Amino acid sequence: MRPVSESRPHDPYRRRRAAAAASREETRRRLLESADVLFRERGYHQTSVSAIAEHAGFSLQTLYLAWQGGKPALLRAAANAAVTATGLPIEPDIWRHGLVAELAKESGTDPDARATLRALSRMYVRVAHRAAPYWRMLRHAATTDETVAADWKMITGERRRTMRAVIESAAVPGWRPELTTDDIVDTMWALTSPETYDLLTVSRDLSPDEYEAWLARTLQHALCTEAG
């Protein structure tokens, strides 16, 4: 007797729904790409939502349907995409999971705290190079826009949560024994802040390599035992 095969009930609209979802995602991506171009060229305040819609080839109504929250939502998404090097924003937990895996790879086969901080410094410089223009835009816009101010506060908090996830994953020897996890996280959070990055790379004009060396050296001095 031939076994009865179970098949999914025929859904004549499944392909249509999938195509519509793909079209919506493509619309969001194109609008975000246009926002990224114009934000970088003109700045946040000088970029209008109508200019973004026109640049992407869509109506203003389409923009608001695709990106509820308008220009602040696009700024938040563009900053997220710059940090994560993705075409669209991703959830913080997914980003943190990827960072932890990348740090484990970058730290080598038998890492200690010093090797972990060297790897973290390399990774941070790559992120900061991509994201710094948006960090500046967000800080500036936050002074006059309550929505952006709330977003910047949220992003600042997410940075600390990311640092905690990284440290909790780095069960390696060589941390100063008198330091708590919060001590280590707060030190890293402060030294890798957008403000510190700008002080040294803009005001002091350090090159990326010079800044990376400074960051690794300073973190190691603050957080590691002499023996490493």
Decide: 122 and 212 in contact? Cβ < 8 Å.
yes
Q: CA–CA separation, 100 vs 23, rounded Å?
A: 33
Q: Higher model confidence: residue 199 or residue 90? A: 199
Report the percent of the chain where pLDDT is more than 90: 75
Closest CA to 82 of 71, 93, 95, 69: 95
Closest CA to 156 of 195, 98, 206: 195
Give the pLDDT of residue 171. Answer: 84
Chain CA centroid to CA 14, Å: 34
Mean pLDDT of the chain: 91
Options 1.10.10, 3.40.720, 1.10.3470, 1.10.357; which CATH number does 91-228 get?
1.10.357
Decide: 38 and 47 in contact? Cβ < 8 Å.
yes
Judge whether residue 176 has pLDDT over 80.
yes
Judge whether residue 52 has pLDDT over 80.
yes
Query: Average pLDDT for residues 45-63, to the nearest whole number?
Result: 97
Sole residue written with tokens 């090797």? 115
Which pTM does this prediction carry?
Answer: 0.84
Give the pLDDT of residue 210. Answer: 97
Q: CA–CA separation, 72 vs 61, rounded Å?
A: 16
Judge whether residue 1 has pLDDT over 60.
no
DSSP strands (E only) in 84-148: none
Q: CA–CA separation, 2 vs 5, rounded Å?
A: 9
Give the pLDDT of residue 228. Answer: 43
Domain ranges of the chain: 14-77, 91-228
Options 3.40.50.12500, 1.10.510.10, 3.30.1330.60, 1.10.10.60; which CATH number does 14-77 get?
1.10.10.60
List pLDDT tens digits, range 41-50: 999 999 999 9
Confidence band, pLDDT 50/70/90 cuts, at residue 108: confident
The amino acid at residue 10 is H
Confidence band, pLDDT 50/70/90 cuts, at residue 107: confident
Confidence band, pLDDT 50/70/90 cuts, at residue 109: confident
Judge whether residue 4 has pLDDT over 80.
no
Confidence band, pLDDT 50/70/90 cuts, at residue 14: confident
